[in-house]
Structures are given as C-alpha cells and as structure tokens.
Amino acid sequence: MRRIKLARTLQRISDFLPRKYPVKSKTGLAEQPFFVLGSGRNGSTLLNRMLNQHSGLFLPSEQYFLGNSIIKYKLYNFLIWRDLMKVIAGELMPVTGSHTWDFGAEEIFVELNGANDKSLQNVLDAIFRTYGLKNKVAFSQWGDTTPLNTYYIPELVSVFPKARFIFLLRDGRDVVASYKRGGEAYLGKLAEPQQAAIHWVHAVKEYQKLQKQTEVLLIRYEDLVTQPEVELMKVCDHLGVAYEPNILSYHHRAPTAPMYQEPQHAKILKPVDASSIGSWKDDLSTHDLQGCTIMNSLLSKFDYQ
C-alpha cells in the first residue's frame, strides 16, 4: 500500500507537466469496460465465470498490471511512443507475475507500437480485447473482476470515467474466514484474521467513496448464491445487455486459465452453492473475532447481524 501511495504521489506531480500522449481517446471507445470491485474471497471468481458465459461479455482471469500500467503511462509520458509501449508491454511479461493469463508482451507490442490512437484508453482497451479474441470468437464489452482493482479506483476512473462499476459485497466475517482457510503460504498476511478484517473495511470504504462519484451496482454474495437469476438480471441490466439463461450453466464449461486449476477454485465446477454462508461461525475463534472488531460498524450498516 505504501508503494501505491508513493507512485500515486509521483504521478500526481507529473500531472502538472505537459503530457506528450493523452490518457483518453479523442474518438472514444466503442464500448466502455466494466469493473467488479470488492475485498476478494467474495465470490468474484464465481461472478467472473457466470458472466463469461454471456455472448456479449468477456472477463479474463485475475491480472495485477492495470493499476501499475496507468501510473507508469503517466510517469513515463515523456518517452517516445515506442519506448513508452515497451514499459506498458513489460507489465505483461509472465515472469513479472502480473497476471494469470496465457498471454505475453510479444503478443501485443507490435499492435500497441503501431496504433494510430496513441492514448492510454486505447492501449488498455487493445490489450484486453486482443486477449479476449484469443479466448472468445466475439464479444462487445470486456470487464474485470480482479479484487486488487479496488486499490486503484482513482486510476480506473481517470482513464475510464464512463466505465460501469459493480461492488460485490460479502459478510466480512465470512471473508475473513475464507482468507484464514486459504493459509499464509498462499495468501500471506491476509490469512491473519485481523489483517483480513482491515482489508475488508478498506474495500467497503472505497465503495462508499466511489458511490459519491458514479453509479455503482451493489451485489451481495449471499443474494448471488441464493437467488442467482434475480441478481444476474440486475447485473445484466446495469451493463446494458440482455439476460441470457445459459449464464447459470457456467459449471458445465471448465475454464482453461491456470489459476482456475488451483484447489480454492474447485467450486466453480459445481452449481451455485450457498453452503458457505455463515461459515465464520465454525471457522473463526473467539480470539479471531476479537481481532476483527474494526468491521463491526460496517457489518451493522450493511445489515450483517
């Protein structure tokens, strides 16, 4: 988080300098993207797999380059276009661990370097669309469900002010329990209940800030797994696409991205399951809950008793 704050400060300083290449496309994008935000361990992978069944939508597996790419584009804007695109494409190198895609810098650099529309909007749109067409015959909108994007909301809004946003909310105690089950070897400090609680609070507060800037659709995990058709209709309406019943058949199509082969994603190969609601009652000790009191006021505000 400190690294993000430092980079953001440097970027804001650079905003006062003349910019060689614009952030927004002069011609605009044919379709605006959408972003699903949240704390993680909140059903974002489930929603990703559901929406990917829609004929007009494409959502890749998690990526961690988007926020950094926006900041670096602004910081290194003084470079010639070719070198600036090397910086951006470098974020896509698999060795950086910046995404879970079967996709690399060499698959997009030539297109970015030769682009007529030299804007950050077009660059990011091209990256997602190029990867999307590698995985899907056709689609109109791309979206992203990476929880880490919640830390980069100002950057996302600065590049895509007309983007659609969805916040996927889950009972913070179940989120903490899920992080705890994930273990420190895989999730680091977030496996500690107190750290997971702080992380959940931060995500919810970012949602409250974003609400003041633009329309954000709130979807509760608990509703998504108990009345999926109702909630997915809301999502489709928010995105401006028609609801397609096959969305609920997500579990019949096994995803190919490597991350989906990991044990914690096994449930996406099964129908919607509400059994994890309230799992915190069995998984969190009294000591764990005492370390999570930071969540109490927000849990109450969102009617989690």
pLDDT at 104: 84
Q: Where are the domains of the chain?
A: 16-170+213-274
Residues of the chain with pLDDT under 70: 1-3, 254, 256-266
> What number of CA atoms fall less than 13 Å from residue 110's CA on the CB side?
2
- The whole-number pLDDT of residue 1 equals 61
Cβ atoms within 10 Å of 160's Cβ, excluding its own: 22
pLDDT at 265: 62
- In this prediction, residue 260 carries a pLDDT of 65
- CATH topology classification for 16-170+213-274: Rossmann fold (3.40.50)
What span, in angstroms and rounded, lies between the C-alpha atoms of 136 and 54?
11
3-state secondary structure of 179: helix
- Residue 69's pLDDT is 95
The pLDDT score that the predictor gives to residue 254 is 66
Among 64, 66, 68, CA closest to 8? 68
